[in-house]
Amino acid sequence: MTNALRLLNRTACGAATLALFSVGGLVLANPAAGSSPMTATTAVNLRSGPGTANPVRSVLAANETVTATGSTSGGWYEVTTKAGVTGWVSQNFLRAASASTAATSNAVALAATSASATGEATTTAAVNVRSGPGTGHGVIGVAPRGTTLGTTGTTSGGWTQVVWQGSAAWISTNYLSASPVTSTPAAGQVRTTANLYLRSAGNASASWDTVLPKGSVVDTAGATTATYTEVIVGGQNRWIATRYTVAVTAAAPVAPAPPAANGTVYVTVNSLNVRATSAADGAVVGSVSRGTALPTTGNTANNRTEIIHQGVARWVYSPYVSATAPDASGGGGGATGVAITGYDKLTPSAKRIVDHVVANHPQIRSIGGWRASSSYSSDHPNGRAVDLMIPNWQSSANAEMGWELARFFADNAATFNVSYIIYRQQSWNASYPDRGWRGMEDRGSATANHFDHVHISVRS
C-alpha cells in the first residue's frame, strides 16, 4: 500500500520539481475557462494565492473535481471545490474533467462490492468512506481518526480500497498510514521556513521518509533536542530541524528603539556616506547632503560619529561633520587658499577631481597636479594625474581620511573618469575593480610609496 507521507512528498515538492513536470511531456491543463470542471491529477495543495509562497487552504485529493473560476496567474488556476473552498492550484496538477474518468471510477467501484483484506492501514484523521475512488462517489460512512481497517491491496488514483463493514469501500490514501497512529496530544504548532526532512529521531543521522514543504503548519509533540523538534505529521511522530521553524503564534520582530539623541552635527561636504557600522568598510546604507542636520548619540569610534538616520543608529566620518552649520555659499567650508600646482595644464577630468576636493574636503590644503617629469608614468606630465596631499599623514585619523578619499573616487570612478588610484603602497585599477586594492613593490620613501598622498590618474 502507498504510504500517505510518501504520496504527499511527491506532490508537495518545491518549484524545481514543478519545473520538471512542466517540460517533461506530462499532460498539462489547458487555460481554464470560467465555470470549467477540472480534475486534480494527484494530491495537491490548494493555496490562498497563485504561488508556493502562499498559505495552504486545503489539499485536493487525486481525481477530485473542482470548478475553474476563469482567473489565472503565472501558470496557476483559481478553482472552487465542491465544499465551496476557493483557492489556487498549479496547472501542472490539473486537467479538464471528462466523462470517461467518472465512468472508469464507477466501473472500478462496481467490480469490488466485496473483498477480503490482505493488509491493514490506520486513518490519520476523521475521513469519509466512499463507494468508489473519488469525491464524486457517495459517502457510506465516516472512519474516526485512529481506525484500523483491512486493505485489499487495490489502489486507484490516490485512493485505497479498504474493507468497511464487510464490503469493499474507498478512502483517500492521504488519510491512511501503514504505521499505528500516534496518541500524542498536540502541544503547539510551528511553521516551517524551509523544506525539511521528516526524521525518525531528533538527530541529523536519523532516517527520513519524506520532506515537509516550506510554509507547512504542523503540530508539535512537546519534545525537543538541542537542534530538533518533535512534530506530529500524518498521525505519526517525526522530527524536524528546529532552526527552520517559527511558532505560529510568534509576533513579528519589533525593531529596537533608536538611542536618545544628545546633540546635533552638520554635514560639511556635498555628499556624505552613512554606514551601518563604525568600520571603515561598513556597509553604506544611505547618504546625506551638505548642510544636513544629524542628531548624534555622543558615541564615537574609529574616527566616526554615531548619528540617528531614519530612526536607526548609524555612523558617519567625523572630519566631514561639524557642530556648526556650513555657510550657505557652498564653498566647501573655508577650503579657499589651497595650494594647487599645475592646475591650468590638467585635463578636464583631472580638474573635476581637484574642484571636488577643494569644495568638499577642507582638510586637504595641498594638491599636486601637472609637472614636467615623473619617475613612474607620463600621467603627471600629460596633466592626467593629481596628488591629494594628506596633512600629518603619520596619524591614524588622517591616514583614514586618505582612505576615505581613495575609496570615494574608486566607488565613483565612472563619474570622475578615473583610471587608477595609488595610496599607502596599494593600488586600485578601474579596469579590474573586482581585484580590489593590491599591494605594490617597495619604492623606498614614504612619498614614493604614496603614504603621504593619494594619487589619482584619469583616462583623459
Task: Extract the C-alpha cell encoding 379.
Answer: 600621467
pLDDT for 331 equals: 37
Same domain flag for 71 and 172: no
Same domain flag for 346 and 453: yes
Do 269 and 232 contact (CB within 8 A), yes or no?
A: no
> Cα–Cα distance between 207 and 213 in angstroms, integer?
18
pLDDT at 163 over 80: yes
pLDDT band at residue 23, thresholds of 50, 70 and 90? very low
Last residue of a domain, one of 198, 219, 247: 247
CB hemisphere CA count around 66 (13 angstroms): 35
What radius of gyration do the chain's Cα atoms show?
36
Same domain flag for 269 and 243: no
Q: Is residue 182 part of a domain?
A: no
* Helix (H) or strand (E) run with residue 387 in it: strand 385-389
Provide the H-helix boundaries in 219-347: none
> Cα–Cα distance between 140 and 171 in angstroms, integer?
11
β-pairing, 228-233 vs 217-224, is antiparallel
Averaged pLDDT score across all residues of the chain: 77
Do 211 and 9 contact (CB within 8 A), yes or no?
A: yes
pLDDT at 258 over 70: no
Q: Is residue 200 part of a domain?
A: yes
Task: Extract the C-alpha cell encoding 457.
Answer: 590618474
Q: Is residue 121 part of a domain?
A: yes
Report yes or no on whether pTM surpasses 0.85. no
Higher pLDDT, 236 or 100: 236
Q: How many domains does the chain have?
A: 5
Same domain flag for 93 and 116: no
Q: DSSP character for 91? A: G
Same domain flag for 165 and 192: no
pLDDT for 422 equals: 94
403 Cα distance to chain centroid: 33
Same domain flag for 171 and 201: no
Same domain flag for 298 and 367: no
Last residue of a domain, one of 296, 322, 348: 322
> Cα–Cα distance between 222 and 212 in angstroms, integer?
18
pLDDT band at residue 10, thresholds of 50, 70 and 90? very low
Classify residue 421 as left (phi > 0), alpha (psi -120 to 50) or beta.
beta
Domain of 205, in residue numbers: 188-247
Q: Is residue 255 part of a domain?
A: no
pLDDT for 100 equals: 40
CATH number (domain holding residue 207): 2.30.30.40
The total of other beta-carbon atoms located within 10 Å of residue 259's CB is: 15
Q: What is the DSSP string of 293-319?
A: EEEEEEEEETTEEEEEETTEEEEEEGG
* Helix (H) or strand (E) run with residue 66 in it: strand 65-73
Mean per-residue pLDDT, 268-276: 78
pLDDT band at residue 15, thresholds of 50, 70 and 90? very low
Last residue of a domain, one of 177, 206, 231: 177
Same domain flag for 172 and 192: no
β-pairing, 366-368 vs 339-341, is parallel
pLDDT at 294 over 80: yes
Q: Is residue 332 part of a domain?
A: no
Same domain flag for 166 and 92: no
Classify residue 389 as left (phi > 0), alpha (psi -120 to 50) or beta.
beta
Number of H helices, E strands in the chain: 6, 35
pLDDT band at residue 180, thresholds of 50, 70 and 90? low
Same domain flag for 51 and 78: yes
> Cα–Cα distance between 121 and 175 in angstroms, integer?
10
Q: Is residue 133 part of a domain?
A: yes
> Cα–Cα distance between 353 and 5 in angstroms, integer?
67
Same domain flag for 170 and 196: no
Q: Which of the given ranges, 68-82, 113-127, 423-437, has the highest pLDDT on average? A: 423-437
Identity of the residue numbered 41? T
Interacting residues of 212 by C-beta distance below 8 A, sequence separation 6+: 192, 195, 196, 197, 198, 218, 233, 240
Least confident range from 128-142, 345-359, 445-459: namely 128-142
pLDDT at 384 over 90: yes
Q: Is residue 254 part of a domain?
A: no
> Cα–Cα distance between 205 and 100 in angstroms, integer?
48
Same domain flag for 361 and 404: yes
pLDDT for 279 equals: 87
Task: Extract the C-alpha cell encoding 118.
Answer: 490482505
Mean per-residue pLDDT, 205-217: 79
> Cα–Cα distance between 260 and 300 in angstroms, integer?
15
* Strand, helix or coil for residue 38: strand
pLDDT at 19 over 60: no
Do 108 and 133 contact (CB within 8 A), yes or no?
A: yes
pLDDT at 322 over 70: yes
β-pairing, 438-439 vs 426-429, is antiparallel
Q: Is residue 253 part of a domain?
A: no
